[in-house]
Structure 1
């Protein structure tokens, strides 16, 4: 049965090819007057019907069916391969400059398909990342406490990860207040500071695309439209033109979306995190397995994993799934910074038994930071 279907498919393709239309010959027949003269449906390049068929560069649909038949032109590999290599390959090369990150190669492929298949979603994810960075800077600008700038950089860098924040056991408050945790913020920034930005290959791919598209536009103005029955690549170039600002935008932002490196950076930083106790600060890992700031890779149960699967994929195209959880986590951190900033403003020490120690260095009209004794 399968051989019969295959044989039928081959015969069908041969039948279509044998009865295929040659549009070049068809147009020449119309111009030669084979199908009559006068107002028969011959048109110029703008679709206006002409009386002189010899000047025709096109035909109406009715005349096309009458003169050329309902068939299609046969597939020509030479034309396809030339146009594919000249106009489409540059854009496919540009796709390789999109930010990836998941460990699963299939998820990387899915992110490429989503980006290419939904330009609006790709632009939305890029705009969301930029606007989130601006929002968090404004959100934390009203706070005045050590590590504010570090917190902004850390939280902005974790937009492409399933961020979770908890204050159980005062872990988040300890992470912000204790001077022993100052290295936590600094080290995490350094471990997250791996670039996905401009490179020779990225610049070459972008230049290749731009030059190819410029040549295509020039060719469309200088070429003979009457002879350009086959596409010259301008349609393909215009169709993919949206990809250029998307790639440039991601290269400029340099998102931290490498799952293994982001996970490793947060885990390494949490090994040096301290928590406050009744006696003295101790390492969090000696007290509990909970962490104030961590990434929820594979922590959900089966139902949550199904519902929140996209949130755990670090490719930036999935920012729509991480937007609200990320904002919720940032708000928790901001609220805690707000509380400690207010206590700092009124010179309230963490330990009421320790008086306020005035620091001599100032920035503008406010003190640069509280003394370490007032933070323990």
Structure 2
């Protein structure tokens, strides 16, 4: 139903024109414009050029659109909404449930889900870092030949989802590396952490559902009958903007992160009970339960894999501390130096990989064990540069992970923007602008949270003053800024996840089917016009951007999956 009220619109030859209130039907509006019901001006072709005869108009100016059709949207049709929602959006929402969570409370799991949907950049960055860290640690330890090196690499790789801190000056680290009695510790911990998150039927079904839905979207875009109503509600843009979720879920399923908080905690507890410390060689039966995390390091203590961005720097430093201990022990064993300098070097057992260094060469007092893994004085004097407090190789891994994350984000988001931009009337409008906002916010969340993690790590730096280690004003300020940026980033991520869902619902519910959106007013300004009668030439012109969008989104997703498969499961040291 339309309600008509008389008014005057001076720009249209001074004719007395009715304003339409209520639901909008653009086909009806165009027919009335062609009949001259709203004057003889305001009609254009599909490039926005005025037509000489109003009866030939296939588009109308934005001003005439508001007068003839009203400022509202087309009516909500439940059948269309439910069909499009279940076909294009529901598969992706179901796939979100296959993400690895594993936090010790439901709120942290919910926050990790909001972070993933709100910032695919952050999700892809944490996943890429995890793969690069696995490759890096395998290469880092590859030249070492001391017993338990292989198990140590597996354990440290599996603890990427845990708040790992290793004190290089702790006698326990030296004992774990050197003592033959601790071989069982490494084997037990590696075995307990060697569980795999299987490809469940639900996960495979969700992945196949997404792939089939996207393929059907693409086929329907090119083979379906294109009309004005189906052109703007096409699901190709929605399918592209969520396509990043597919390589993220597949990647985590392949990596199988050790993110089950309770399981990892129990594994470490059981291994700690059989750990030995040099002299008096008694089992360390004390529980090493973690302290409550400080506010500035809260994300570091959350075991959901998306928080690997917060553990990147402290994990790298901890790995480096363990590496130096194994390196020194390996070099001394290759020089045939036993832990107890008062003993002769005992040859290992041939054919036994774990007995290449005889157990007698790996026994000694607490001071001997600690000295065995310390850097030699001569080497320390030659190496004048102090060890970095940021960790080795972090810049290259950060840059590569950032490049991969941004490529996946803007490959899928850019494809959605591209499809919406060239859909008549082309330009930045409600749909393309909404997708663009989602991509910008995703990148901004990543920048805020990565900056927060850098500041949190810097806040741990101390200076020596009169024999005491103290924090400076700069480190205390960094801690405060880290908390602020972290909370701001998480809030923006939650809002962005809600935003992208609403954008999809608005598109399927015809909320964007209104004069302002369909006329691309932000792009064309006062020259804005609304294409209503889509011609065959318009449809043919869409082939190039639609093919480009499909190639861009699917290509970036495939490349990201390929990157994960190339670097995953690197060769471990023997």
Alignment TM-score > 0.5, same fold: yes
Q: Return the alpha-carbon distance in structure 2 between the equivalents of residues 375 and 347 of structure 1.
A: 11
Residue 91 of structure 1, CA deviation? 0.3
- Contact kept, 8 Å, 1:39 with 1:49, in 2: the verdict is no
In the alignment, which of 302, 316, 319 is matched to residue 305 of structure 2?
316
Residue 57 of structure 1, CA deviation? 5.9
Residue 369 of structure 1 aligns with which residue? Answer: 356
Residue 290 of structure 1, CA deviation? 7.9
Residues 131-280 of structure 1 mapped to structure 2, 5 A cutoff: 131-167=132-168, 170-227=171-228, 228-277=230-279
Residue 164 of structure 1, CA deviation? 1.9
Matched, 1:326 2:315: yes
Q: Return the alpha-carbon distance in structure 2 between the equivalents of residues 168 and 276 of structure 1.
A: 14
- Contact kept, 8 Å, 1:30 with 1:42, in 2: the verdict is no
Q: Return the alpha-carbon distance in structure 1 between the equivalents of residues 149 and 50 of structure 2.
A: 73
Q: Return the alpha-carbon distance in structure 2 between the equivalents of residues 362 and 27 of structure 1.
A: 87
Residue-by-residue CA offset, 1:53-80 (whole Å, 9 max, x unaligned):
7776654434422432222223333322
- 2:165 partner SS: strand
Residue 82 of structure 1, CA deviation? 2.1
Q: CA, structure 1 residues 32+113, in 2 after alignment: closer, same or farther (shift >3 Å)? A: farther
Residue 328 of structure 1, CA deviation? 1.3
Q: Return the alpha-carbon distance in structure 2 between the equivalents of residues 204 and 67 of structure 1.
A: 48
Q: Return the alpha-carbon distance in structure 1 between the equivalents of residues 69 and 149 of structure 2.
A: 72
Q: Return the alpha-carbon distance in structure 2 between the equivalents of residues 245 and 54 of structure 1.
A: 51
Q: Return the alpha-carbon distance in structure 2 between the equivalents of residues 269 and 149 of structure 1.
A: 17
Q: Return the alpha-carbon distance in structure 2 between the equivalents of residues 54 and 214 of structure 1.
A: 40
Q: Return the alpha-carbon distance in structure 2 between the equivalents of residues 315 and 367 of structure 1.
A: 34
**Which stretches in structure 2 are left out of the alignment for 5+ residues?**
1-19, 364-574
Q: Return the alpha-carbon distance in structure 2 between the equivalents of residues 31 and 160 of structure 1.
A: 65
- Contact kept, 8 Å, 1:42 with 1:53, in 2: the verdict is no
**Which stretches in structure 1 are left out of the alignment for 5+ residues?**
1-16
Q: CA, structure 1 residues 217+306, in 2 after alignment: closer, same or farther (shift >3 Å)? A: same
Residue 231 of structure 1, CA deviation? 0.8
In the alignment, which of 17, 22, 42 is matched to residue 25 of structure 2?
22
Q: Return the alpha-carbon distance in structure 2 between the equivalents of residues 132 and 185 of structure 1.
A: 20
Residue 142 of structure 1, CA deviation? 2.3
Residue 168 of structure 1, CA deviation? 5.4
Residue-by-residue CA offset, 1:188-237 (whole Å, 9 max, x unaligned):
11111222242221111111011111111111111222242551321211
Residues 62-101 of structure 1 mapped to structure 2, 5 A cutoff: 62-101=63-102
Q: CA, structure 1 residues 284+132, in 2 after alignment: closer, same or farther (shift >3 Å)? A: same
Residue 343 of structure 1 aligns with which residue? Answer: 332
Q: Return the alpha-carbon distance in structure 2 between the equivalents of residues 229 and 149 of structure 1.
A: 57
Q: Return the alpha-carbon distance in structure 2 between the equivalents of residues 309 and 130 of structure 1.
A: 23
Q: Return the alpha-carbon distance in structure 2 between the equivalents of residues 27 and 229 of structure 1.
A: 17
Residues 56-67 of structure 1 mapped to structure 2, 5 A cutoff: 58-67=59-68
Residues 279-294 of structure 1 mapped to structure 2, 5 A cutoff: 281-285=281-285, 289=286
Residue 31 of structure 1, CA deviation? 5.5
TM-score (norm 1): 0.83
Q: CA, structure 1 residues 146+65, in 2 after alignment: closer, same or farther (shift >3 Å)? A: same
Cα RMSD over matched residues?
Answer: 2.6
Q: Return the alpha-carbon distance in structure 2 between the equivalents of residues 53 and 186 of structure 1.
A: 83
- Contact kept, 8 Å, 1:162 with 1:311, in 2: the verdict is yes
TM-score (norm 2): 0.56
